[in-house]
């Protein structure tokens, strides 16, 4: 499981500290698990599965997909939750700003993004 934990953390692009915060443990705890010194507790597994929508079978055994299937709305909720629970103030402010856009401002933003492609 320690290798899958590291694979998951790297896939998510999180440091040991950020990943630990997301599941309620320290950077040192994540480091000890990834290096094989400690094992994942059932409580940590539940936290990882809940916070990151990870397939528990994959985490425990390596079988199946890394993540559980989600609807687009569930996926969006997960991403916004990660940002709001993170430490990056720029990302939080960006989400807040986007939520305050008028329909006309959304149209302008769509045009800018389509021209960037």
Domain residue extents for the chain:
2-61, 72-116
Average pLDDT, integer, range 96-109: 94
What residue has token string 């694979």? 7
Q: Is the pLDDT of residue 42 over 90?
A: yes
- Three-state DSSP class for 67? strand
- In this prediction, residue 84 carries a pLDDT of 79
Residue 99's pLDDT band, with cuts at 50, 70 and 90, is very high
Residue 23's pLDDT band, with cuts at 50, 70 and 90, is very high
Q: Is the pLDDT of residue 38 over 80?
A: yes
- Which CATH number describes the domain made up of 2-61? 1.10.260.40
| pTM score | 0.65
What residue has token string 């936290």? 47
């Amino acid at each position: 499981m320690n290798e899958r934990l590291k694979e998951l953390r790297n896939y998510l692009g999180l440091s040991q500290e950020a990943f630990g915060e997301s599941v309620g443990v320290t950077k040192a705890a994540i480091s000890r698990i990834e290096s094989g010194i400690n094992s994942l507790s059932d409580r940590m597994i539940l936290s990882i599965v809940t916070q990151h929508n990870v397939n528990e079978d994959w985490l425990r055994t390596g079988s199946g997909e890394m993540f559980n299937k989600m609807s687009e709305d569930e996926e969006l909720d997960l991403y916004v939750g990660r940002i709001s629970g993170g430490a990056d103030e720029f990302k939080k402010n960006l989400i807040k700003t986007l939520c305050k856009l008028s329909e006309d401002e959304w149209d302008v933003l769509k045009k800018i993004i389509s021209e960037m492609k």
